[in-house]
Structures are given as structure tokens and as C-alpha cells.
Amino acid sequence: MRFSKLLSTLEPTKQDATMLHNLAETLATHNIEQYNTLVVTKDGLADPTRWREVRRRSGARIYKERLWSTKQGPTTPQLLLLGTLEGNLEDIMYGVVATTDEAMKIKSACTNDGVQESKLLCEILRPTFEDPFRHISVRWRLYDSKSDFVSLDATGIVETAKRERVGYNISHSVAFPEIPTFEIEYGIERLNMSVCSLYRQKTPTTIECYVRGFFEFRTKNEMIGNLTLQSIASQWAVFSRK
């Protein structure tokens, strides 16, 4: 069954569109600030007092935040990827931007990201000739773990205060009452996440890659939650080879 056929496109009000546009801007700024303040060792590894390595593949290491790393403890589980990719920033961003359902399908097939179905629900901002990587949309995704997400997706390249160009790719859960859930009839859980990937040119042929994600699971079973995070980490490890 194609669940995407059960979903209608969104028609956000002008006020909602402005709110989503502003949220995308805020998320990009916040995540770049987090990236700039990330504590790493002299070897460029994540701070071991806060992050525990769970996967390693090629030029990437994936970490899970330790439960006792903050005084209050994290409210939702976090994953972090630090690594490198071959290429230049423009090449990476051309691979990241997916403005249609068909482009998203091709991207998922290439990266093995676990997405079974996806649907573009609405576009807030489309790429232009002057800014070909800038795209803001709302998208639905169904994963092979029988969970789905509705998220604000945003991509683009910004220049930091240090005059460095940083590419970003953000997926942040949002909710709209008109988007149905499939939990009662089909057992598909609607979950929440906030994932940001950042890319910075490290050398003429190498890209520094940073991915940070927060995931909210309904289960109170820690073992199930950890297994789900391990599955996500495995998908990130596959992506890091691309």
C-alpha cells in the first residue's frame, strides 16, 4: 500500500508560511552556533566525557550522548556524526537538495537512509538561479522501522562571521492537524526528530561533515530506544561512505 497517496498537499496560510520560513532561519543559525561551540579533542574527536562512540566507518565516527553528560540529563536521545567526505561544497549540496518526490526517491536509494516512502506536502521557498541550494519545504517520510515523520526541511549555504561558507540540510518535526496519522489502522508511529547536517570545505578536495540529531521515541523501554538509535546510527554510517 502506498501511504503517500492518502496524504493531500498542504496549503499553508501566509502567516504559517512566514512562521515556517522564520523557523528554518532560526534552526540554521542555532545549529551552526552549536557546531562552532562543539568541544572536541586535539585529534578532532568528540569530547569522550559527553559522547560515546557507537559506529566508525571510513572517515566518519558516530557518537551517542551519554545519559549523565549534563546535570539535568538530555531530554531526548542525541546522535552526533563527525567526519569527512571527498568533493567540494557545491557537489555535496547538489546531492543534498531534493525538490521533488522523484529526486527524494533517488536520494534515498543512493544513501540507503531507510526511507520507504516520502511526499512533498508543500514548498515554502524554491531554489533560484542566484541561490540554487536554498529550499524550504514540508515533507512526510515513512521509514522501514514502521515510523513516520512530518518535517520542515531546509537546505542552503550561508557565510559565517569567519567568512566561511557552510552548507546545511535540516529536517525538523512539525505538526499540522490536517495531516492524518496511520497509527491506529496500520500501526505506524508518528515520531519527532530534529536533524541537522553541516558541510564545510576543509581542503580543496575534502568536506568536513557534522550531523547532529535529536530523536523522540514514545517507548519508555530503554532497550528498544537504544536499538532504534543503533539502527539510525547504522544508516548514518552508510551515508558517510557516499
For β-strands 135-143 and 147-159, DSSP reports them as antiparallel
Write the pLDDT tens digit of every residue in 66-78: 876 555 544 577 8
Residue 8 within any structural domain of the chain:
no
Nearest alpha carbon to residue 152 among 120, 108, 114: 120
Q: What's the pLDDT score for residue 217? A: 64
Write the pLDDT tens digit of every residue in 91-138: 999 989 989 999 988 888 877 788 899 999 999 999 999 999 999 999
Q: Residues in the chain with pLDDT < 70?
A: 68-75, 217-242
Residue 83 within any structural domain of the chain:
yes
Total domains present in the chain: 1
Residue 121 sits in a domain whose CATH number is 3.30.530.20
Q: Is the pTM of this model over 0.85?
A: yes
Give me the domain span that covers residue 161: 14-41+74-239
Residue 98 within any structural domain of the chain:
yes
Q: What's the pLDDT score for residue 114? A: 82
Residue 136 within any structural domain of the chain:
yes
Residue 60 within any structural domain of the chain:
no
Residue 195 within any structural domain of the chain:
yes
Q: What's the pLDDT score for residue 77? A: 78
Residue 62 within any structural domain of the chain:
no
Residue 64 within any structural domain of the chain:
no
Q: What's the pLDDT score for residue 229? A: 60
Alpha-carbon span 204 to 119, nearest angstrom: 36
Q: What's the pLDDT score for residue 40? A: 93
